A = this chain, B = another copy of it.
Amino acid sequence: MAQALTSWRAVADEVLARIRRRDWAPGDLIPNEVDLAGEMGCARTTVNRALRHLAEAGYLERRRKAGTCVALNPVRRATLRIPVIREEVEARGAHYDHALILREEGTPPLAVRSLLHLPPDRRLLHVVALHLADGAPYAHEDRWVDTETVPDFAALDLSQQSANAWLVQNVPYTRGALALSAMAADPETAEALGCAPGAALFTLERTTWKAALPITWVRLAYPPGHRLTTDL
Interface residues of A (CB under 8 A from B): 19-20, 22, 26, 56, 73-82, 84, 87, 168-169, 172-185, 198-203, 205-206, 208, 224-232
Contact = CB atoms under 8 A, between A and B. Distances in A.
Contacts of A172: 19-20, 22, 74
Ranked 6 nearest A-B pairs via Cβ: A176-B232, A182-B182, A200-B200, A182-B202, A182-B200, A184-B200
B77 A229 contact: no
A178 B226 CA distance: 13
A202 B172 CA distance: 30
Oligomeric state, in number of copies? 2
A184 B199 contact: yes
A78 B79 contact: yes
Given A73-B84, A76-B81, A77-B79, A176 B231 contact: yes
A79 B81 CA distance: 9
Nearest to A164: B73
Contact of A74 (B75, B168, B178, B201): B168
Contacts of A200: 182-185, 198-201
Contact of A179 (B201, B203, B229): B229
A198 B199 CA distance: 8
A68 to B, nearest CB: 18
A177 B84 contact: no
B181 A228 contact: yes
Nearest to A177: B231
A73 to B, nearest CB: 5
Nearest to A232: B176
B78 A80 contact: yes
A66 B154 CA distance: 38
6 contacts: A19-B172, A79-B80, A177-B229, A178-B230, A185-B200, A202-B202
Contacts of A76: 81-82, 84
A231 B178 contact: yes
B232 A178 contact: yes
A173 to B, nearest CB: 8
Contacts of A199: 184, 200
A56 B56 CA distance: 11
